[in-house]
Amino acid sequence: MVNSENFDKMMAEKVEYVQNVIKSFLPKKENCPETLYDALVYSMEAGGKRLRPILMLETYRLFGGNKAVIEPFMAAIEMIHTSSLIHDDLPAIDNDELRRGRKTTHAVYGEAMGILSGDALLNYAYETALEAFRYNFDRDSLFMAMKVLAAKTGIYGMLGGQSVDVENDKKGNLSPDLGMLEYIHKHKTSALIEAPMMIGAILAGAQKGEISCVEEIGGKIGLAFQIRDDILDVISTDDVLGKPVRSDAKNEKVTYADLLGLEAAKKKVNDITAEAIRLLQTLPGENQFLESLVENMANRNK
């Protein structure tokens, strides 16, 4: 593990690197409709933790990867994540007007442009990932990485989980138990953490069994991350979190905090995180920062 002071410094450096990578792949203003372009850039430049591209990069490095071919995928996964946030915030879903400490995309540009900019960003993410084929790199690995990116973010992954989550609110008619809630979290959240970690492993040349192990690790990290998010929605504040708290209660969504209680939910986060780190340590490479990042995600305050 990396000590707290060194971790914060390393994290700041990695976020800056990721920001520069993302900026280099953003669409050009020329020939793009002005308002759509502005909404896209507004959303992508809103900041955030950039956890998914960092997890991708650090998993890539865990298996010895050191080439720029990872960068288009890093930008793409953050574009997909941001597109999902734009749509999550829409009036038809969570109806939130604060994200990352400032107004949400639809609150600034209108609901229609929120829908369109989310769609455009999702599509542009795949255009961006395809830029990796310009590199002199193993085509089979690139195809496998693209397949993971598409599958984990589609109807069998993020979007599938989101659809069930939409039913888990006052507009739906589900009464989720822990099994249903775990399905939602594993598909809506975990899939978008499994994807970058698997892509990092694939592009670094990891073996099939190692990629499967990374997928399991990503699933555990994602589940712990989402349960922690549920907890913070109860115990945090708008100013600290950078988005409205009690959003789950407002939308009458059932969460782990509801079903287990806060203390049991916190214990579940710790247990799942410990198992994810244990599995990380069974892999042949070593990346102390990655282990510290996983720990930090489970104990974050925002």
**CATH code: domain of residue 161:** 1.10.600.10
What is the bridge-based pairing of β-strands 102-103 and 98-99?
Answer: antiparallel
Model confidence over 160-182: pLDDT tens digits? Answer: 999 988 887 655 555 667 888 88
Instruction: Indicate the range of 89-98, 101-110, 240-249, 288-297 predicted with least confidence.
Output: 240-249
Note down the domain range covering 173. Answer: 4-299
- 156: its two tokens: 């069998």
Please list, residue by residue across 200-221, b when 16 or more beta carbons sit within 10 angstroms of its beta carbon and e when fewer do.
bbbbbebeeebbebbbebbbbb
Q: What is the pTM of this model?
A: 0.93
* Cβ atoms 111, 254 nearer than 8 A: no
Give the position of tokens 């100013």: 239
> In whole angstroms, how large is the CA radius of gyration of the chain?
18
Q: Is the pLDDT of residue 299 over 70?
A: yes
φ/ψ of residue 99, rounded to 5? -150, 130
Please tell me the total count of domains within the chain: 1
Average pLDDT over residues 41-63: 95
**pLDDT value of position 181:** 87
The dihedral through the CA atoms of 192, 183, 240, 105 has a sign that is positive
Residues 6 or more apart whose Cβ sits within 8 Å of residue 110: none
Look at residues 162, 246, 146 and name the one whose alpha carbon lies nearest to residue 203.
Answer: 146
Longest distance between any two alpha carbons in the chain, whole Å: 53
